Chains A and B, each alone.
Chain A
Amino acid sequence: MDLADTDEEREFRARLREWLAAVLPGLPAKPGPDDWPGRRAYDTAWQRMLYDVGYAGLHWPVDAGGRGATPTQHLIFLEETERAGAPYVGANFVGLLHAGPTIAAEGTAGQRARWLPPVLRGDEIWCQGFSEPEAGSDLASLRTRAVRDGDHYVVTGQKIWTSHAEVADWCELLVRTDPAAPKHRGISWLAMRMDAPGVTVRPLRTLAGSTEFAEMFLDEVRVPVSHRVGAENDGWRVTMVTLSFERGTAFVGEVVACRRTLSALAAEVRRSGRWDDPVLRRTLGRLNAEFRALWRLTQWNVAEAQRSGGVPGTGGSVFKLRYSQARQELYDAAAEVLGADGADLDREWVLDRLTSLSYTIAAGTSQIQQNIVAERILGLPKGR
């Protein structure tokens, strides 16, 4: 058990720190949450900067245009960029962490050449069109139809909760290509242009007041057959490749940020003269244990992935269950610290408290995660 950097890792970290220190002061101000064109420009400009110095697609395989970095180097990258206050992956999320890795793993040479470089350069934004009004946790029951018409699919249906749909150029879309087959066997994975005729995006307002995701109506949208990744009706397996990436190092930066928030909360309690309140103090102390442990669990999972050749395991479900809960407890504690100011949306942490509510739902609800842990790790029988 070793928690120290190797010489190589230390050097990687030092070079990264140096670069961050040099470029971060020159960045423009962050755009507001509803300024979508501004957000896109900000996020893609950052991605371009990473690309120009060779940090883009760090964890992608080399033959996909990535750097082939080890899981540990990726962890260091995410840790250091967060520590330095660098921009978050933002609108590049689906491209870099979902669609990109899927195309890298399952796409043809031509598909990789067409789609991967623009993601790495920050030229193109992807969104994820999986969930439907009638297919959430039971994703495989999705109904959006794709009917072959020559060398095109004609796609009709409705998607929902599509994050970043308003600024995306492409959508990784799950469609039903064989309605007669058992539900997992009739699904295909398509790359759809968001400006194709028949695509209508209607933004949805979240409980935080901004429009983070959207409904997407698809009315006879024509998608070239060549834009299908993987075999026809093999989309469920292709999708699982994507979903397993969702549970790897995805929360490294956030855990680092949570630990910083916790320290800031402690400082705020002392500033406001409430450090002699033992309940508040012990609440923060407990959260310190929690986030220290979550950080160690992240390192444990990454080291495990590194040993197994980069495949993220089911340990991600254990992590996500605990982290999503801890994050909500953190911002509840923040509200306690803020007292009456906890009702002021302009105060730091208040908006974060609202967005923390999505963590037990998005990317597999906590109930579904518990099913996964019980059935796939503990081997309990499948039930209803």
Chain B
Amino acid sequence: MDFQLSDDQRALRAGMRELLTGRFGRDRMRAALDAGVAVDRGMWGELGAAGFFALRLAEADGGVGLGLPESVLLFEEAGRVLLPGPLAATHLAAGAVGAVKGAADGGAVVAVLDEGRPVAHLEAADALIALGPVRPGGVARVLEGDVLRELVRTARPVRSLDPLTPLHRVTAGVEDGVPLPGATPLRLEGALLAAAEQLGSAARTTEMAVQHAREREQFGSPIGAFQAVKHLCAQMLVRAEVARTAVYAAAVTADPAEIAGAKLLADEAAVHNARDCLQVHGGMGFTWEADVHLHLKRAWLRAGEWLRAAEAEEALAADLCRVHACDAGDL
């Protein structure tokens, strides 16, 4: 056992951080926000060129040939900088050979259709992946061309909570479209990648809170010297670090219950940490100008995607019975 990042994994993560700092620093992020452009095709292509989407596609198929552990490291970085767009869906489409042309190299944008939920980034999407039901064995489908155009035509925009995640209500069902080849557990893998983004966000808001607590002075001392503030920050770190090991371990084992646990804890960490970060920032935290609200809004949205708390907890409860020989017949 050596449950720590390898040198290659560290290098991969550092490379992605560098790319994102250069290509999607805070100024670019705020510019995208002001312009209302969530998916920038140019950057999508650069992410593709850097292997963000083709990471897990076999080298023989033109991919990078790495695994889930490497993917979660990249998605963690994306979560840190609030990188918008349907990253997980495009990554998953790229991993399923030939499912959507152009997904692997960042030429195509692939979004998600999950029954009963609004669709994010519909207008930018070249294809949709319709997730099967939450229960195991649900088949995913791909919606493209005329089917997609018809769906877009009848869709109604939603005024989105998260300014960098445009949403639409659609009428199509998850039975439309062409079944995806293979039986990849898309919902679970999507949940894990989203959990990694939540982890990145939770770690970032911890850093933001700590930095502010060191600099802001009241009553003649940095507010970080007050225990009430200090303990908020300490609990933020605890949440982020517990989520980190849950996400990394789930990426190594790909165990469904472990993935459910990772999503549950990472959602909680991202949402709770963003709220605490807001509190530590005082009035500044309530402004549009501070980035805190963007982390919180994105975290709220992601918590409602792929696998929600209730579904994760049910999966984890069922797991307690499965593993440990209590009668599974009457589940």
Contacts and interface: CB of A to CB of B under 8 A. Distances in A.
A303 B222 CA distance: 35
Contacts of B130: none
A275 to B, nearest CB: 8
Contacts, number: 186
A383 B221 contact: yes
Given A306-B2, A381-B214, A381-B222, A289 B233 contact: no
A371 interface: yes
A140 interface: no
A72 B260 contact: no
Interface string A189-223: 00000000000000000000000000000000000
Given A6-B1, A266-B321, A282-B317, A289 B312 contact: yes
B5 A371 contact: no
Contact of A381 (B224, B231, B260): B224
Nearest to B327: A270
B1 A288 contact: no
A285 B314 contact: yes
A370 B234 contact: yes
Interface string A257-270: 00000111111001
A164 B326 CA distance: 39
Contact of A289 (B214, B221, B231, B265): B265
B33 interface: no
Nearest to B235: A370
A274 interface: no
Interface residues of A, number: 57
Contacts of A263: 320, 323-324, 326
A270 B328 CA distance: 10
Interface in A9-23: 9
Nearest to B231: A370
Contact of A1 (B210, B233, B251, B265): B251
Contact of B245 (A4, A293, A382): A293
Interface in A298-313: 299-300, 302-304, 306-307
Given A2-B2, A380-B225, A322 B320 contact: no
Contacts of A322: 238, 242
A285 B253 CA distance: 19
B314 A1 contact: no
Interface string B1-45: 111111001000000000000000000000000000000000000
Interface string B230-249: 11011101100111011011
Given A380-B224, A381-B225, A270 B313 contact: no
Given A282-B313, A288-B319, A380 B324 contact: no
Nearest to B323: A263
A373 interface: yes
Contacts of A306: 2
A383 B227 contact: yes
Interface string A107-119: 0000000000000
A297 interface: yes
**Most chain B CB atoms below 10 A, which of A9, A265, A266, A374:** A374
A292 interface: yes
B260 A289 contact: yes
Given A3-B3, A266-B317, A289-B260, 17 more contacts: A1-B5, A262-B320, A263-B324, A266-B321, A267-B321, A284-B317, A288-B257, A289-B246, A289-B313, A289-B316, A292-B257, A292-B261, A299-B249, A300-B4, A322-B238, A371-B234, A381-B214
Interface of B: 1-6, 9, 69, 206, 210, 213-214, 221-222, 224-227, 229-231, 233-235, 237-238, 241-243, 245-246, 248-249, 251-253, 257-258, 260-262, 264-265, 310, 312-321, 323-324, 326-327, 330
14 contacts: A72-B1, A266-B324, A266-B326, A270-B321, A293-B243, A293-B265, A296-B245, A297-B242, A303-B2, A370-B227, A373-B238, A374-B231, A377-B237, A378-B210
